[in-house]
């Protein structure tokens, strides 16, 4: 998977993909292809998306009306 393809799949910028590669959160397929382009391991991209989706769902599930400061203030 190319940097551009990974960016589209994860809905992030190409520079963010490069940062994820540098931090080891995404894995590069070695060696580089003959054109010098970075090739990213598809499984690592899918795993990263699964982790971020799970974290997003967990955060959204944790949001309740009890956490709504505006609603709490309006009731006083």
The answer as to whether 46 is a domain residue is yes
The answer as to whether 69 is a domain residue is no
Distance CA 38, CA 31 (A): 9
Range of 23's domain? 3-64
Q: What is the pLDDT of residues 17-67, one digit of tens each?
A: 999 999 999 999 876 667 778 899 999 999 999 999 999 999 988 887 665
The answer as to whether 48 is a domain residue is yes
DSSP letters, 48-64, are HHHHHHHHHHHHHHH--
Q: Residue 51 in contact with residue 37, Cβ under 8 Å?
A: no
The answer as to whether 37 is a domain residue is yes
pTM of the entire structure?
A: 0.74
Q: How far is CA 61 from the centre of its chain?
A: 19
State the total domains in the chain. Answer: 1
Q: What is the pLDDT of residues 5-20, one digit of tens each?
A: 999 999 999 999 999 9
> Could you tell me which of 34, 60, 56, 29 has the C-alpha nearest to residue 44?
29
């Amino acid at each position: 998977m190319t940097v551009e393809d990974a960016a589209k799949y994860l809905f992030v910028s190409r520079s963010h993909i490069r940062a994820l590669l540098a931090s080891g959160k995404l894995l590069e397929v070695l060696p580089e292809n003959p054109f010098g382009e970075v090739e990213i391991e598809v499984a690592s991209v899918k795993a990263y998306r699964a982790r971020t989706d799970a974290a997003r769902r967990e955060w959204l599930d944790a949001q309740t009306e009890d956490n709504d400061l505006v609603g709490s203030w309006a009731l006083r």
